[in-house]
Amino acid sequence: MSKMQTSKAGFIYASLFVLLSAIIFVFAGFSSDISSSQSDFVVDVLNAILRFFGVILNEAELVGFAIFVRKFFGHFFIFLIDGVFAYLTLYKLFTFKKNLVILLFGVLIMFLVAGISEFIQYFAGGRNANWIDVAIDLGGATLGLLIAFAFTIKTNEKVDN
């Protein structure tokens, strides 16, 4: 079982995890028009940066680029960051016998965040829920959890030596 411990860093990580999860839920509730305008803005900025470096995308490439940006930044990357915060929250606030248990709890928590965000999106105007998005979210979260896991293992090795 786990035991709660007091940790200032843990409360900071927990606050960041909750804040980022709340942002995810708020964005999930935006209508398709608002969501599209946000995605279009990010794509336009990144496309301008590419043009600055001499990379000109044709219309078909721009459509693919827009899908990549939406799935990578709007799903994978934000959940990667939230996964790091979820792991560090569990690591700093609870005592588990094995760090692998933290990974499993982290995956479960992030699956719930991804599922809830898609559930919210289902009721947003002009949007729908998508299991593929849940999988992309969970992929990013799992990578974030693994990065934090590796970091804490490496840090523990240095402390032990």
Print the SS3 string covering 78-90: HHHHHHHHHHHHH
Query: What beta strand segments (E) does 48-160 contain?
Result: 94-95
Res. 76: pLDDT tops 80: yes
Cα 35 to the center of its chain, rounded Å: 17
3 falls within a domain: no
149 falls within a domain: yes
160 falls within a domain: no
Cβ neighbour number for residue 95 with a 10 Å cutoff: 10
Indicate the number of domains in the chain: 1
Task: List phi, psi (to 5°) of 125.
Answer: -60, 125
pLDDT bracket for residue 72 (50, 70, 90): confident
pLDDT per residue as tens digits for the range 30-65: 988 888 888 889 899 999 999 999 999 999 999 998
Res. 6: pLDDT tops 90: no
What was the pLDDT predicted at 3? Answer: 62
* Domain range for 132: 8-153
21 falls within a domain: yes
159 falls within a domain: no
161 falls within a domain: no
pLDDT per residue as tens digits for the range 85-139: 999 999 999 887 788 899 999 999 999 999 999 999 998 888 888 899 999 999 9
* Contact status, residue 83 vs residue 148, Cβ threshold 8 Å: yes
Cα 28 to the center of its chain, rounded Å: 13
68 falls within a domain: yes
22 falls within a domain: yes
Q: Of 99, 106, 104, whose CA–CA distance to 13 is shortest?
A: 106
Q: Which amino acid is at 27?
A: F
